[in-house]
Amino acid sequence: MENKKLPEDLRGIHIHFVGIKGTGMAALVEILFHNGAVITGSDVEERFYTDEIIEKLGLKALPFSEKNITDQIQYVVYSSAYKLDKNPDLIEAVKRGIPCLLYTEALGSYSSRSYSCGICGVHGKTSTTGLTGTILKELDLPGQVLAGSIINSFGNTCTYTSPLIKDQKKSEKNIFVAETCEYQRHFMSFCPQKIILTSVESDHQDYYPTYQDIRDAFVDYICKLPQGGSLIYCADDKGAVETASLAAKKRPDICLIPYGQKAILGNPEALSAKKCCNLAFGKVEKEKNNFSVKIISREENGEKEELSADFFLKVPGRHEVLDAAAALCLSWELLIQYGKNPCDYIEKIRTGLSNFSGGKRRSEIVGRAFNKNGKSVVFIDDYGHHPTAIKTTLSGYREFYRGRKIIVDFMSHTYSRTQSLLEEFASSFEGSDQIILHKIYSSARENAADFSINGRTLFERTKEHFENVSYFEEILDAKDYALSLLNQELDSEKYPDGYLFVTMGAGDNWKLGKALLEEMYD
């Protein structure tokens, strides 16, 4: 039987990564490299932002070839995008009998040796992981964090490793926080002690045809918690509350900790929780999201207030504040777990939250410029590719950048998601003033001919909800039009601060924002 676990001591172990440029793969490379492993890897020639991550480690992606698999390689980790019987590296590894682990299996194996915390949910996984890691950077806890994208406050990498990390042989005492993905039940390989659940709703329709299918996957993941393990879930998200309730019925021993505005002991959304993290939104002032948090626990003699304090974020959106509350709650519980008084760390937690500035393609400010009339233009790129994410993110921009005219360029990703959620997509842009749409950015796992929709279908449906909607099949075909929009005269009373141009989606329409920024700089 093939060994699906990495060795306890990784020092000197040669691991070859097939698909090394994948975001999760590059992050795991960082983690294992810092634990002493010898790393090689292969991928396509096209350059990605993850090339910089692996190059910082002195590594370079090789072209796919059976020659990459040498006698020195002891393990192979591969992306789910590649198949054991198709990729030349993997075919050779199988022929030689080298243990081959999917990325999720390798991540799960690594998580089993630590005090691991999995961050999951349809939305907000990356931001919540990044926020948790940015807080942990300020705390004297031995932690490692793996996010699903580059996090600015990590130093433009996907991972953070505390200088307090102990020797590899004692790593079960270390904290490992990782973003864990629901697609194809990948998170079932992870070994969590605590879980954050941000949200649950229908998504990945190619794998989860119904809401119940994806909800039940989250329930099964939660049930992987050990006896007395903690579930920190969003009380403001209907799907998360339902999922937590179903999991609690199967596993009444799980410690429930709701967070959000509805996280009040005794509220139906708080279920049978003995502790909650209540959130109150404050005013958005000077491009800062102000909020307050109370952590309340139920004691034999009544309720005890563990925390009551004000905090702020420098990133837009109430959804980000919710993610911050989740990250704060997990950090609070980890301090308690490691025998520390979290009340002594309030200022450090506040500093961590204030240091968070987002991540790659997560409300990422890619540049600023001035148009021909001298008006400011801020360019943002965001990965939001689900109607709920689009709606909440644009709403956050409207509140945060209230003095700017918002133009959003959106490229829908996957035919199955667009077809299943067509009405939701079409009505999700209410936070914007102008909308530009394109063809659907397809997935390698689906055939466009199998679907009855295309990019124009979404365009026609969106026009039923909004007036200012335009369509360009190809991304860069919209460049001149978008440039003309950004150079128009503005109503100075309505939009005193200028423009906000947002490229949004899981496709490659970020190229339009980059092209416009370069044009305006010239």
Q: Report which residue type is found at 503.
A: T
What's the pLDDT at 167?
Answer: 52
Residue 272 contacts residue 233 (beta carbons within 8 Å): no
CA distances from 305 to 296, 298, 302 (A): 5, 9, 10
This prediction has a pTM of 0.83
What's the pLDDT at 400?
Answer: 87
CA distance 473 to 439: 5
Residue 240 contacts residue 121 (beta carbons within 8 Å): yes
For 359-368, write each residue's pLDDT tens digit: 777 778 889 9
Burial of 286 (0-12, 13-18, 19+ CB in 10 A): exposed
Alpha helix segments (H runs only) across 202-237: 211-222
What's the pLDDT at 278?
Answer: 97
What's the pLDDT at 442?
Answer: 86
Spans in the chain with pLDDT lower than 50: 1, 168, 171-172
The bridge status of strand 14-18 relative to strand 75-78 is parallel
The helix or strand, by DSSP H or E, that contains position 103, with its residue range, turns out to be helix 103-111
CA distance 86 to 73: 20
CA distances from 274 to 191, 240, 263, 280 (A): 24, 17, 11, 20
What's the pLDDT at 100?
Answer: 97
The region, left, alpha or beta by phi > 0 then psi within -120 to 50, assigned to residue 36 is left
